[in-house]
């Protein structure tokens, strides 16, 4: 059994807590245990790491769903999120508030190189591609690192120079009463360096806009709205910062025969009156091709048959859905005179009137209106 604490208990919320409640509870804990408020306190530092790990899972709908289903095993060696946690993307707004409280609006720390923006790409897939997986090539218009200056923004043969105002610190100090206050350096905008001779290709930005082609591997089992994260494939940051990420969101086209319900497949199959009454063996389409299915005698219209294991495999490979075949009895049209006579004879043998419902309706109408 895992020795890790329950993430909901670490944050201090119930298992049905909403996004805002989780965020508020995490912010309170992060403020309490942040190392800058508890210098040298190893216990507080460890607690801060624990609540941050818990928030990284509970703030992500996909990770939270896997945690609710599999617990800490979802992040183990063989789990769908093996490889650790990311503490960068989901914490900027919270940490911004925390640092603002520590340092009066966040001006007391050197501003690091900015991170590039994340991008989103909507990828349309055929039904079969979503079920079986595919490899797709996509083109992304984005800013990429300038090849002329290799991203530093300076003219080839030159390099950025240390800012003379802040001497590379990215911040300057000034006296305010009894306190020494730090502010972002206005000359270098917190970068710690300045560019005198800018690169002509990018104008000193360190990046240029390009059309980037990517090969994206779509795992089997994705559905409408599935989100794939490609780390570092988003916008590059100005002057050498870390690039953002690319999120590929899938949109699956409808299928002419199959309807997907989570991991299950639903399929409507027509059968004749004779097949329903006497029983038959029919061909049924599945994701793997046609299979034989027995229709027992006296089957009624709307009857659903389950074909176990003929559905969709989930993206982690843990589960496999079923196919549900719903039969509908087709009423024959354009009957010959002989067929009509035989049907009337069939009805008479069974003591059945040919039009009992309509007769009943007209009898009631006669009683009401004469």
Q: Is the pLDDT of residue 259 over 60?
A: yes
* Lowest-pLDDT range of 21-25, 171-175, 230-234, 250-254: 171-175
H/E run at residue 179 = strand 179-184
Q: Where in the chain is the domain with CATH 1.10.287.110?
A: 1-106
Which pLDDT belongs to residue 197? 86
Q: How confident is the model at residue 249 (pLDDT cuts 50, 70, 90)?
A: very high
Task: Cite the residue boundaries of each domain of the chain with CATH code 2.60.260.20.
Answer: 113-156+203-254, 258-333
Distances in Å between the Cα of 342 and the Cα atoms of 188, 254, 333, 353 are 95, 42, 15, 14
- pLDDT at residue 359 in the model: 59
Cα angle 102-33-50, degrees, rounded to a multiple of 5? 130
More confident residue, 242 or 338: 338
Whether the pLDDT of residue 102 is over 50: the answer is no
CATH for 113-156+203-254?
2.60.260.20
Give CA 82 to chain center in angstroms: 17
Domain 258-333 architecture: Sandwich (2.60)
pTM over 0.85: no
Q: Which of 82-86, 113-117, 290-294 shows the lowest per-residue confidence on average (mean pLDDT)?
A: 82-86
pLDDT of 107 above 70:
no
Checking if the pLDDT of 112 tops 60, the result is no
Is the per-residue pLDDT at 368 higher than 50?
yes
Reported residue count of the chain is: 370
Looking at 6-15, 75-84, 208-217, which range is the least confident one?
Answer: 75-84
Percent of the chain with pLDDT over 70: 82
Q: What residues contact residue 337 under an 8 Å CB cut-off, 6+ apart?
A: none
CATH of domain 1-106: 1.10.287.110
Average pLDDT in the chain: 81
Residue 108 has pLDDT above 60, yes or no: no
Nearest-angstrom CA–CA distance, 309 and 252: 22
Q: Which strands sit side by side in the sheet containing 227-230, from one edge to the other? A: 119-125, 246-252, 227-230
- Compute the average pLDDT of residues 5-30: 87
Cα separation, 138 vs 280, in Å, equals 48
Q: What is the pLDDT of residue 105?
A: 41
- Please check the confidence at residue 314 and state whether its pLDDT lies above 70: yes
Contact 265, 132 (CB under 8 A): no
Note the pLDDT tens digit of each residue in 327-344: 999 988 888 999 889 888
User: What are the distances in angstroms from CA 11 to CA 113, 118, 123?
Assistant: 31, 27, 35
Q: Out of 2.60.40.2550, 2.10.230.10, 1.10.10.10, 3.90.550.10, which CATH number does the structure's domain 161-194 have?
A: 2.10.230.10
**DSSP 8-class letter at 82:** T
């Amino acid at each position: 059994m895992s020795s890790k604490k329950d993430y909901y208990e670490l944050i201090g919320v119930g298992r049905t807590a909403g996004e805002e409640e989780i965020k508020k509870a995490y912010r309170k804990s992060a403020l309490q245990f942040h190392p800058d408020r508890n210098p040298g306190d190893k216990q507080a530092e460890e607690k801060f790491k624990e609540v941050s790990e818990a928030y990284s899972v509970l703030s992500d709908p996909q990770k939270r769903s896997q945690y609710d289903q599999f617990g800490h095993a979802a992040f183990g060696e063989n789990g769908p999120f093996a490889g650790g946690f990311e503490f960068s993307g989901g914490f900027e707004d919270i940490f911004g508030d925390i640092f603002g409280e520590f340092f009066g609006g966040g001006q007391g720390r050197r501003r690091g190189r900015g991170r590039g923006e994340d991008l989103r790409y909507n990828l349309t897939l055929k039904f079969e591609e979503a079920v079986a997986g595919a490899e797709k090539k996509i083109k992304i218009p984005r800013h990429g690192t300038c090849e002329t200056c290799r991203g530093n923004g300076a003219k080839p043969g030159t390099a950025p120079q240390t800012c003379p105002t802040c001497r590379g610190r990215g911040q300057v100090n000034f006296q305010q009463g009894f306190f020494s206050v730090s502010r972002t350096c206005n000359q270098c905008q917190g970068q710690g360096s300045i560019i005198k001779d800018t690169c002509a290709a990018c104008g000193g930005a360190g990046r240029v806009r390009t059309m980037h082609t990517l090969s994206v591997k779509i795992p089997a089992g994705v559905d409408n709205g599935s989100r794939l994260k490609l780390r570092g494939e988003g916008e590059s940051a100005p002057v050498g910062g870390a690039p953002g990420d690319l999120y590929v969101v899938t949109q699956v086209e409808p299928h002419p025969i199959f309807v997907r319900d989570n991991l299950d497949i639903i399929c409507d199959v027509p059968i004749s009156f004779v097949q329903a009454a006497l029983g038959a063996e029919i061909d049924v389409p599945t994701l793997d091709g046609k299979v034989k299915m027995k229709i027992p005698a006296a089957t009624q219209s709307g009857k659903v048959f389950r074909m176990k294991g003929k559905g969709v495999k989930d993206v982690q490979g843990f589960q496999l859905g079923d196919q549900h075949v719903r039969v509908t009895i087709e009423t024959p049209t354009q009957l010959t005179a002989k067929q009509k006579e035989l049907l009337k004879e069939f009805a008479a043998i069974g003591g059945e009137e040919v039009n009992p419902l309509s007769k009943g309706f007209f009898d009631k109408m006669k009683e009401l209106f004469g």
